[in-house]
Amino acid sequence: MSERRLADADVRGKRVLVREDLNVPLDGGHITDDTRILAAAPTLRGLSDRGAKVIVLSHLGRPDGKVVEGLSLAPVASRLGDILDLRVKLATDCVGPAAESAIDAMNDGDVLMLENVRFHKEEEANDPGFAKQLAALGDLYVNDAFGTAHRAHASTAGIAAYIPSYMGPLMARELDVLDSILADPHRPFVAVLGGAKVADKIAVIERLLELCDQIVVGGGMANTLLAAEGIDVGKSLRDADLGPAGAVLAKLKTGHVKAHLHLPSDAVVAVELKEGVDTHFAEVSKVAPDEMILDIGPTTAEHYRGIILHAKTVLWNGPMGVFENDAFAAGTEAVGQAIVDSGAMSVVGGGDSAAAAHQLGFAAKMTHISTGGGATLEYIEGRDLPGVTALRNSAQ
Ligand code: ADP
Ligand code: MG
């Protein structure tokens, strides 16, 4: 069964519970990147304009089921209010009397935010009683939280069993973009993979080997694959368990895969990761035992650029190096520039990859920057996202 989309719903005067992923990075109460709030705003504005009572649910950080003052959604409500040019109140709890009285006081078109759902341990446990309590606050449920769709929690997967449920426009757009590149990509289809979360991403490589024409790899992912090839990568970030990377290499050797996989031939290395440290270029086979690979080198960057320039579709997940430090940003900048210059349809997934695209000035030139990291990767892997499945199975 396919999910219902929000554009078709009659929302005027209804209490509409909207799950968004407003889990933004905070630095002492200050929002350092409001991308997710900006991405959710059109959904909320649209509902408000259509006369709904808009009740926003989200998590923030990992409070582990108790109230943590520093993880209040108060700064998010305030920023959302600025973006929407509306007064967005925050109810001090997401269930119970505080939520109920705040909702009772709403007029059509108002936007109310409920406090961090993860202040209750029942949220992450996907407790049915808690999901029912949340559902009782609304007439309709909208799941627009693509970034959290891979989690089976009460507010992402539980509520849909109790009230009429719809997929929000942001979630729908994310899935449509991913479906289009997974089902029928313009070729050559090039994947650019890097970053630090190697163990999480190996399964994605396996799937991309079947889908893509070329895969270029940097970051900790490349270090792990190089180590699995028997290259000593010194103190570089890599997965301790080389088994999965070894399996990828073995699969490539069979010749029964679609994609060509490219690993770095040279790197930017240093003995420690800090501002102003001495760096130099080294062939990957000549990294000293006390050194770390912190970026792809210039020969590799040029090689990858050549491959990317031929692409008609690019999927980018994971920076090529520690781009947060200028000394190790050149590789990420080079692939980003190549993606822009290729004119390919480009999809960027992953929080740090999106941050790199913003920091290096490429964000506006990419076709789509996904608000999901883990969710994007699990979807590419071909796994069902519990948040989406719940909408499809919604009895209401
Ligand atoms: P995303 O959030 O885009 O999915 P990850 O979270 O997997 O990406 O990884 C991002 C992080 O990887 C960045 O903070 C970057 O500094 C780090 N990184 C990239 N290359 C290396 C490397 N060679 N050594 C250590 N860290 C790296
Ligand atoms: Mg990350």
Cα–Cα nearest to 329, from 266, 277, 268:
268
User: CA-CA distances (angstroms) from residue 388 to 63, 140, 156, 175, 379?
Assistant: 25, 16, 9, 10, 10
Cα–Cα nearest to 134, from 11, 48, 17, 22:
17
- pLDDT at residue number 393: 86
φ, ψ dihedrals at 165, nearest 5°: -130, 145
What's the rounded mean pLDDT across residues 40-69? 97
Cα–Cα nearest to 55, from 119, 160, 138:
138
- Residue 282: how many CB atoms within 10 A of its CB? 17
What is the 193 CA–ligand 1 centroid distance (Å)?
Answer: 10
Share of the chain above pLDDT 90, in %: 85
Question: What digits encode the pLDDT tens for the residues 358-393?
Answer: 999 999 999 999 988 889 989 998 899 999 999 988
Task: Enumerate the β-bridge partners of residue 345.
Answer: 313
Q: Which of 123-127, 182-186, 367-371 has the highest mean pLDDT?
A: 123-127
What is the 30 CA–ligand 1 centroid distance (Å)?
Answer: 23
Atom 5 of ligand 1, nearest CA residue = 195
In whole angstroms, give the CA distance from residue 304 to residue 311: 11
Cα–Cα nearest to 44, from 25, 23, 59, 58:
58
Domains 6-172 and 185-381 share a fold: yes
Question: What digits encode the pLDDT tens for the residues 139-176?
Answer: 999 999 999 999 999 999 999 999 999 999 999 999 99
Q: Tokens at residue 368, please?
A: 């789509």
Place 77 in a pLDDT band, splitting at 50, 70 and 90.
very high
Cα–Cα nearest to 122, from 108, 136, 132:
132
What residues are labeled active site?
36, 197, 351, 374
Residue extents of the structural domains in the chain: 6-172, 185-381
β-pairing verdict for 260-262 and 280-283:
unpaired
Q: Which residues surround ligand 2, an ion (CB under 5 A)?
A: 351-352
219 within ligand 1 shell (Cβ under 6 A): yes
Collect contacts of 369-372 with beta carbons under 8 A, ≥24 apart.
369/35, 370/146, 370/174, 370/177, 370/178, 371/21, 371/35, 371/36, 371/39, 371/146, 371/147, 371/170, 371/174, 372/21, 372/146, 372/147, 372/149, 372/150, 372/174
CATH, domain 185-381, list 3.30.43.10, 4.10.110.10, 3.40.50.1260, 3.40.640.10: 3.40.50.1260
SS3 for 260?
strand
Q: CA 158, 36, 374, 72: dihedral to nearest 10 degrees?
A: -60
CATH, domain 6-172, list 3.40.50.1260, 3.40.462.20, 3.90.1150.10, 3.30.70.580: 3.40.50.1260
- pLDDT at residue number 194: 96
Residue 395 has pLDDT above 70, yes or no: no
Cis bond upstream, residue 386 (ω within 30) = no
In whole angstroms, give the CA distance from residue 320 to residue 76: 31
Place 203 in a pLDDT band, splitting at 50, 70 and 90.
confident
For the CA of 357, the nearest ligand: 1
What is the 262 CA–ligand 1 centroid distance (Å)?
Answer: 18
- pLDDT at residue number 197: 83
Relative to the CA of 351, which ligand 1 atom is closest? 2
Tokens 């929302």 label which residue?
A: 11
- Residue 239: how many CB atoms within 10 A of its CB? 21
- pLDDT at residue number 373: 85
356 within ligand 1 shell (Cβ under 6 A): no
Question: What digits encode the pLDDT tens for the residues 329-342?
Answer: 999 999 999 999 99
Residue partners of 263: CB distance under 8 A and separation at least 6:
217, 222, 225, 226, 229, 284
For residue 290, the Cα-to-chain-centroid distance in whole angstroms is 33
Q: Considering Cα of 384, then 388, then 390, then 391, what sign does the dihedral take? A: negative
